[in-house]
A and B are shown apart, each in its own frame.
Chain A
Amino acid sequence: MITVEHLCKSYNGPHGPIKVLNDVSFQVERGEIFGIYGPSGVGKTTLLRCLSLLEKPDSGDIFIDGEKVSSLDGKNAGHLRLRLGLSVVFQGYNLLNSRTALGNVMLPLEIRRVPKAEARSKAKELLKLTGLESRQDFYPSSLSGGEKQRVAIARALVTEPRVLLLDEPTSALDRETATSILQLVEKLNRIYSVTVLIVTHQIELARSITRRGIFMCPNGKSVEVKEDAVN
């Protein structure tokens, strides 16, 4: 379903270009929960940004449902992201402080011009599923880190995406909350049959729900990690 072939990406550093992604290749099956592991600063988020079409790789290809998506410009990328059903949960939650939890979850539907009543009912359904029914009228400033993450996940799923990309979903949470978030991801993966890619440096935690993945090395290369190797 998702195929990444020989992906390379560099950034300009003070002493010349820094190769962040160096010939990264892997494949993700439909409905799978796939891990992108590695310590901080090895290019995991860059890889996720390339997969979510927010950044263009220097070379290499990304195919989603057989469609080559790696060479698109910004405007076309937006349309394609909607068409392919790509949804991203960012590391810092990125919730709108001016909106309640319910308002935040409704936002992607409002952007798609879904009628308000329908958007509200769909958002409430997702908040219920993520265990935040009683918090729907709370603003992000009144929510805990775990609750914010649940809102961000509900917001990402409200449009019923086919691919959910999660950037360090548990990095700012205590172990108990992090486990509950991962269990929630697994539950939503089952309910919606959504393909999930998790970027994380917490391999031990993530392995409870991922079957396969890649480990990103400091030189920008990737090593495939299978279930046996992780466990």
Chain B
Amino acid sequence: MPSIERTVALLWPATIETFAMVAWSLFFSHLLGVPLGLLLVLTGPGGVAENRLAYRILDAAVNFGRSVPFVILMVSVVPLTRFLTGTSIGPVAAVVPLTLAALPFVARLTETAVLTVDRGTIEACISMGASRLDLIRFVFIPESLPSLVSGMAVTAVNLVGYSAMAGAIGGGGLGDLAIRFGYQRWETEIMVASVAVLVAGVQIIQLLGDRISRWLRR
């Protein structure tokens, strides 16, 4: 029976790995996904740079990205992962498929959040002489920030789940720990402890997301 010390010694680095994977992939997926979401809004129906063809292509790409199951995505992007990180296993490598999995989701959440911005407010800014970039800077992002933060929390929770899946095929973190010790060696305590940390992590992320979003809605 594993001691508490051993469980903690195994859990601690795995927890750090999991949350590092989630944090980095959350960062990169927003770095790429938010601009993609804004492009969807700008080129979409009624957008300030409406372009039917561009919107259709972007829309289809986002739908395609969202429909690929994560496990298949992870395996299919191994060459890209190797190219970018020099390896296909471990938490650093896992950031690539995690980012790619979250990116279309972030783009869609961004589009939905920005579309809730009052049309009258946008028109008022246009009447003041705002350019498209001004609209993004002064209206789209600040006005939809509470929804964007809520979406970020949802994405982070999804990434925690994905990171556990990544662990199953060598991604490291709590998923890897749970599979190696909890499933393959049948050490129930490690399995339960891993799940408990994941559940607590999800609760904290959601709570933080809700609080920040509420504060921004002042």
Contacts and interface: CB of A to CB of B under 8 A. Distances in A.
Interface of A: 52, 54, 78-79, 81-82, 86-88, 90, 92, 94-99, 107-108, 110-112, 139, 141-142, 159
Given A98-B142, A108-B128, A141-B218, 7 more contacts: A78-B126, A81-B127, A87-B128, A88-B127, A90-B123, A111-B134, A112-B129
Nearest to B120: A94
B120 A92 contact: yes
Interface of B: 118, 120-121, 123-130, 134, 138-139, 142-143, 145, 216, 218
B129 A82 contact: yes
B129 A94 contact: no
Contacts of A90: 120, 123-124
A107 B118 contact: no
Contacts of A95: 121
Nearest to B139: A96
Contacts of B127: 52, 54, 81, 86-88
B125 A111 contact: yes
Contact of B118 (A52, A94, A110, A112): A94
A111 B123 contact: no
B175 to A, nearest CB: 38
Contact of A107 (B126, B138, B145): B138
A88 B120 CA distance: 12
A100 to B, nearest CB: 10
A88 B125 CA distance: 10
Contacts of A92: 118, 120
27 contacts: A54-B123, A54-B126, A54-B127, A78-B129, A79-B129, A81-B127, A88-B124, A90-B120, A90-B124, A92-B118, A94-B123, A94-B124, A96-B138, A96-B139, A97-B143, A98-B142, A98-B143, A98-B216, A107-B125, A107-B128, A108-B128, A108-B129, A111-B128, A111-B138, A112-B129, A141-B218, A159-B128
Contacts of A96: 121, 138-139, 142-143
A47 to B, nearest CB: 15
Nearest to A108: B128
A60 B120 CA distance: 26
A123 B112 CA distance: 33
Contacts of B143: 96-98
A134 B127 CA distance: 28
Contacts of B118: 92, 94
Kindly name the residue among B118, B121, B124, B143 whose own CB sees the greatest number of chain A CB atoms within 10 A. B124
